[in-house]
Structure 1
Amino acid sequence: MKAHSTKLRSIARWLAGTACLAALAMPLTAIDAAAAANCIKGERKAPYTIGWANIYSVPTWMKQTEGTITAQVEALKKEGRVKDLMVTDAQGNAQTQIQQIQSMIDANVDAIIVIAGSSSALDRVVSDACDKGIAVINFDSLVNTDKVTSKINTDSNEWGSKAAQWMVDQLGGKGKIIIMNGPAGVSVSDDRRKGAQPVLDANKGLEVITETNTEYNVAPAQEAMTSLLFANPEIDGVLSLGGALSAGALLAFDRQGRDPVPTTGENARQFLELWKEKGIKGWATMQPNWLGALSVYAAVQALDGKPVPARVKVPLPVIDDASIDSYLARADKFPADGYIYSDYDQALFDKLLTE
């Protein structure tokens, strides 16, 4: 009896050891895939239904971004991997966006692509989508919660830091500047501003005389800058943290008959053209519109059981006097009030999803 018990214990120890070895031998790709497939549960098989929860569609950047989303969906439809695209427009209202995402949850879409109208207000509904087994890909303006499949973005803090450092270098660390921000409460705008602050703190000779928040559109930015020009006769630089904002600022300077000053921004066609036309000192970077297409591609990859990182960092390019002509050479391919973004393809997407 004692010998029998000893034998059973030996067998149990052997089985436990075998199980541990099997777990250790499990391919890393399988472990990574399980981690990458956060939120995805239940029977979800291609072709998939994708939801695109847009915060607002009026700005040209958003229209171009939606264009990359629909183009990616059409390509995946031809491959038999996507069936439908559900599109909503919250018209800038975060509460409306919450209701629209809830409708997508109720419809049991397979994936939701979202630009958040509020970094905090959407946390509960996004988490609920994740709990219901829906793939959630959040890009550009991010939610606070990590209950998503993946967050895809450039580094907005780095964006603000690099723009501020360029301004410091241009002005020799001394001068009066105006800061132009996007809408308050939108994470991409707030994070750019936060990124600029440590550089400003380290360079006390750079005086921020005032700053403003406007929509990412030329007209309201021009109106805001016009008011600031009347109130501030001496301005040495414009630290603009958005492309349409920069175009609006330069137009305001021109309409008031004032010489333009060093200005930062991004790849808005109108800003780049004014930069070249006026011969200003400028610096810009790019928030690629194809982040939308990449988000759709990532959602389908995750639904297919392939590894997708919880966070995907897209590198920031630099547009300066040495590279601006290469962007303007392609200007006629984009709307006059649009953004000149770089080319993209599946090879680029695969590279970004494996880095």
Structure 2
Amino acid sequence: MKKIVSPLIGALLIAGLVACSKQGPESASTSSSAPASGAASGQAKIGLSISTLNNPFFVSLRKGAEDEAKKEGVTLITVDAQNDPAKQQASVEDLIEKKVSVILINPTDSSAVANVVKEATDKGIKVISLDRSVKGAEVSSHIASDNAAGGKMAADFLVEKLGGKGNIVELQGIPGSSAARERGTGFDDEAQAKGGVKIVTKQPADFDRAKGLSVMENIIQSNKDIQAVFAQNDEMALGAVKALQAAGLKNVAVVGFDATDDAMAAVKAGTMAATVQQQPELIGQYGVQTARKLMDGQSVDKSIPVPLNLFKQ
């Protein structure tokens, strides 16, 4: 026996099916068109691309960013480039895929990151550079200490320490990084302007302690007439100290840059003369605060300076 469906019930069933078929696509459309901003979606995400975490300075920078992210109630995703420009590009592309709202980038190479920074900004992701600038692409803000002023500060200290005369060795950071370029320019220009002192050699040691040791050892083998060393970061300065001690060279004034815990301990112990004191945790903190402002649609300064000091004996 066949079941007979009344015309009224049949009409209601058809109307219900039509309504369901319309509801699905509309819901999907609404979901896909929701604002990409993490702040708007309730899942605020900030990406942090660090040049290397094998350096106490950048570990402190990350800590400052992490602590501030907790206060701001945002998720911080950190990626480590391990001082490899290609790895940094790939990891930033991964942050773009994760749809972070803002990327904080500390470039391994200031020029090499330009393309991936453009890729991020083309997709509506704001980019803020930390400590090292981006060359060849525009960022929303650059947060850093005045590296050139820090180099000048180191030169003034050493010229006074040496009484206006003596031979200086300069250990340079990673070629192509803005920090190395700016610190070197500030130091070199001031040392030359003062006169009397002489920079006898400038060699890169890539901001690395082990390389600072080996490069300094090679320099000492060819010339022991050294009165001072300016290293463009503390890791290289600490490596240089070991090389000088092993060679039996005393009374050589070593100045670093960053004021890491190990460097400040060395200054207190008298094995280093001074270090230019940055505040890496503050750089990380300012980075997250600035990212939060951008996510909230606020305007930010193109350049945000972080104060410097000289930590000395």
User: TM-score band, normalised by the shorter chain?
Assistant: 0.7 to 0.9
Question: Residues 157-196 of structure 1: matches in 2 within 5 Å?
Answer: 157-196=148-187
- Matching residue within 253, 264, 270 for 1:278: 270
Alignment match, 1:66? 62
Contact 2:175–2:206 at 8 Å: present in 1 too? no
- Matching residue within 82, 97, 105 for 1:106: 97
- Matching residue within 207, 214, 220 for 2:211: 220
Question: Residues 89-104 of structure 1: matches in 2 within 5 Å?
Answer: 89-104=80-95
| Offset at residue 312 of structure 1 (A) | 0.3
Q: Which runs of 4+ in 1 moved over 6 A?
A: none
Contact 1:178–1:235 at 8 Å: present in 2 too? yes
Contact 1:246–1:264 at 8 Å: present in 2 too? yes
Alignment match, 1:35? none
- Matching residue within 117, 121, 144 for 2:108: 117
Alignment match, 2:292? 300
| Structure 1 Cα separation of the partners of residues 292 and 122 of structure 2 | 18
Question: Residues 229-244 of structure 1: matches in 2 within 5 Å?
Answer: 229-244=220-235
Alignment match, 2:243? 252
Contact 2:267–2:312 at 8 Å: present in 1 too? no
| Offset at residue 222 of structure 1 (A) | 1.8
Alignment match, 1:269? 261
| Offset at residue 156 of structure 1 (A) | 0.8
Structure 1 residue runs without a partner (length 5+) = 1-41, 322-355
- Matching residue within 178, 191, 200 for 1:209: 200
| Offset at residue 154 of structure 1 (A) | 0.7
Q: 1:217 to 1:86 in 2, by over 3 A?
A: same
Contact 1:254–1:260 at 8 Å: present in 2 too? no
Alignment match, 1:13? none
Alignment match, 1:155? 146
Query: What SS does the aligned partner of 1:260 have?
Result: coil
Query: What SS does the aligned partner of 2:310 have?
Result: coil
Alignment match, 2:125? 134
Name the aligned partner's letter for residue 44 of structure 2: Y
Question: Residues 274-353 of structure 1: matches in 2 within 5 Å?
Answer: 274-278=266-270, 282-290=273-281, 291-321=283-313
| Structure 1 Cα separation of the partners of residues 263 and 109 of structure 2 | 27
- Matching residue within 190, 197, 201 for 1:199: 190
- Matching residue within 37, 51, 54 for 1:55: 51
Q: Give the alignment's TM-score, normalised by structure 2.
A: 0.81
Query: What SS does the aligned partner of 2:248 have?
Result: coil
| Structure 2 Cα separation of the partners of residues 125 and 240 of structure 1 | 30
| Structure 2 Cα separation of the partners of residues 98 and 87 of structure 1 | 14
Alignment match, 2:19? none
| Structure 2 Cα separation of the partners of residues 117 and 151 of structure 1 | 15
Contact 2:100–2:125 at 8 Å: present in 1 too? yes
Contact 1:54–1:114 at 8 Å: present in 2 too? yes
Contact 1:250–1:274 at 8 Å: present in 2 too? no
| Structure 2 Cα separation of the partners of residues 284 and 125 of structure 1 | 34
Query: What SS does the aligned partner of 1:136 have?
Result: strand
In terms of Rg, which structure is larger?
A: 2
Q: Give the alignment's TM-score, normalised by structure 1.
A: 0.72
| Structure 2 Cα separation of the partners of residues 216 and 279 of structure 1 | 19
Query: What SS does the aligned partner of 2:311 have?
Result: coil
| Offset at residue 106 of structure 1 (A) | 2.9
Query: What SS does the aligned partner of 1:157 have?
Result: helix
| Offset at residue 279 of structure 1 (A) | 6.6
Contact 2:150–2:308 at 8 Å: present in 1 too? yes
| Structure 2 Cα separation of the partners of residues 168 and 292 of structure 1 | 33
Contact 2:168–2:199 at 8 Å: present in 1 too? yes
| Offset at residue 306 of structure 1 (A) | 2.6
User: Once the two structures are superposed, what CA deviation does each residue of 1:304-331 show, in whole Å capped at 9, x if it has no partner?
Assistant: 123321110112122223xxxxxxxxxx
| Offset at residue 137 of structure 1 (A) | 1.2
